Structure 1
């Protein structure tokens, strides 16, 4: 089962644009739906820019004109009609995602698939809000999507075997590797990644070493491509704080966010997107 001929993406921010890019280059027609016209236009520019870079780097044999011809943006959920798959990529808030997924499902045919790009929220609990929970799973893409080779396929309690197999195939068709996990707080990647990052933050807080040296220890000693604190800056300190709070509530105090993380978020030091986090990005 190859990627569906039409794929919808709800949300055209950094992650949504990356997801749209991935499916465009895999041959699907992609519609990105955003909250208003300004956001939709910005989403189009993000995806088109990513597609142009793929052409420049030679990672696709298609022309830019051919790729962007398969891309459209909208502010109307009705434009998801006819999609074989829609991937939700709105901010990491359970109520927001649940209501968005419900609104999308109303526009889809009964045989369409639906997925969430959640990095930590319960896929099974989101599925409980849907009419067809067996046709829903998690597809956790990683930032930046074009360069990442991993997608976490998260199976909820009611996810069908057919969808589980289809999702593995889609991921392979996107040129990425699927890691299949059963629904659990933080799945595999976020749970381990956040655990390492929180301990690194505590070490900075306690004066054990600088952020630069802690990251260097993981890059040089454990061959991590990027250290846990720089990764936190790239992901966003606010995003990491939200995930940590959710994991602390569901898995216990070992995931309690350190004060240094709370203080930086309160000061607006959110990482690369604001120019400062644990590192200076200005």
Structure 2
């Protein structure tokens, strides 16, 4: 167990203590891009060395795009990005953000491991899209340090974020997390705990329902999305949104919601399961409900 007594209260300076991001998948890399784009240092942790090896290129690509779009500061130095396979390397982190796969057992294992090495009072943030924060907090050494922060994908382009206060979340942890998010240019909207919180409690049922319409032959994917864009003013239709999230992640989130609510509307439809089994996860694999020019 860590020998620290308390976590530093100040947010890190560019040359100071880093922010740790656990998981170098789509969301972990996106979060690292957002943070380094605002000049703060990041330690990115993953057990997959190949994925870690690809992360610096992916972060650099995201930084270029976000700056061209005016979504990240164009002036100033980027924060440093350090990659590692060792959880112990986040011991000095000011804030830890967990962004591993949306499987409760995996998240619980990672949270238990990292909470052993970080200083008491260090906010431990989960980027879960649907698992109740208090459920995850049960795996932490100090449940009061757990906060939820549901980043949208990609986080460096979407400034609103759902921040979840668990029943045991300490006020200091919540304050420090929202202060960081404000520094990152985010609009932190604090909500209560529960399966799916606000966004996914509503969104995942909609994505599942849209996929079921295609499955049942009511309409093709293009027509479903065209109706949502044209009639409801949505920027992106539900099935293109599902492709952006990743159909594998959609299925994982639906299972989390079904297991915790018993609501049959969250049972993944057969078409979603078939696409995931075939490896057609959406934009990140080049094919989902739609086809894309290349793997992102």
Deviates further, 38-47 or 141-150: 38-47
Structure 2 residue 71 is the aligned partner of structure 1 residue 67: no
Number of equivalenced pairs: 279
Q: 1:274 to 1:50 in 2, by over 3 A?
A: closer
Q: Answer yes or no: is 1:242 the counterpart of 2:255.
A: no
Structure 1 residues 136, 102: closer, same or farther in 2, change over 3 A? same
**Which residue pairs with 1:280 in the alignment?**
291
1:52 aligns with 2:64: yes
3-state SS in 1 of match to 2:189? strand
The 5-angstrom pairing of residues 1-282 of structure 1 reads 3-5=11-13, 6-57=18-69, 59-63=72-76, 66-68=77-79, 70-251=80-261, 252-282=263-293
Structure 1 275/111 Cα, relative in aligned 2: closer, same or farther at 3 Å? Answer: same
Cα offsets for 1:112-142 (capped at 9, x unmatched): 1111111111210110111111111111111
Which secondary structure state, in structure 1, belongs to the residue aligned with residue 212 of structure 2? helix
Return the offset for 1:36. 4.3
Does structure 2 conserve the Cα–Cα contact (< 8 Å) formed by 1:229 and 1:278? yes
Give distance in 2, aligned partners of 1:134 and 1:36: 30
**C-alpha contact (below 8 Å) 2:38/2:78 kept by paired residues:** no
CA RMSD of aligned residues (A): 1.9
The alpha carbon displacement at 1:57 in A equals 4.6
Give 1:194 shift.
Answer: 0.8
Question: Helix, strand or coil: the match of 1:274?
Answer: coil
* Unaligned 5+ runs, structure 1: none
- Cα distance in 1 for residues equivalent to 2:73 and 2:276: 39
Q: Is the 8 A contact 1:2 1:173 kept in 2?
A: no
Deviations 1:62-89 (A, max 9, x none): 35xx315x22112222211211101011
Superposed CA deviations along residues 92-113 of structure 1, whole A, max 9, x for unmatched, are: 1111111111111122111311
118-127 or 158-167: which moved more? 158-167
Counterpart secondary structure, 1:159: coil
How far apart are the structure 2 equivalents of 1:40 and 1:206? Answer: 40
Sort the Cα spacing of 1:57 and 1:246 in 2 relative to 1 into closer, same or farther, 3 A.
closer
Deviation string 1:25-70 (CA, Å, 9 cap, x unpaired) is 233221111214433221222222223334445531435xx315x2
> Could you tell which deviates more after superposition, 41-50 or 146-155?
41-50
> In the TM superposition, what is the alpha-carbon distance from 1:238 to its structure 2 partner?
1.5
Q: 3-state DSSP class of the match of 2:153? A: coil
Give the distance between the partners of 1:269 and 1:50, measured in 2 at CA.
23
Q: Which runs of 5+ in 2 are unaligned?
A: 1-8
TM-score normalised by the chain length of structure 2: 0.88
**Structure with a larger share of its residues in helix:** 1
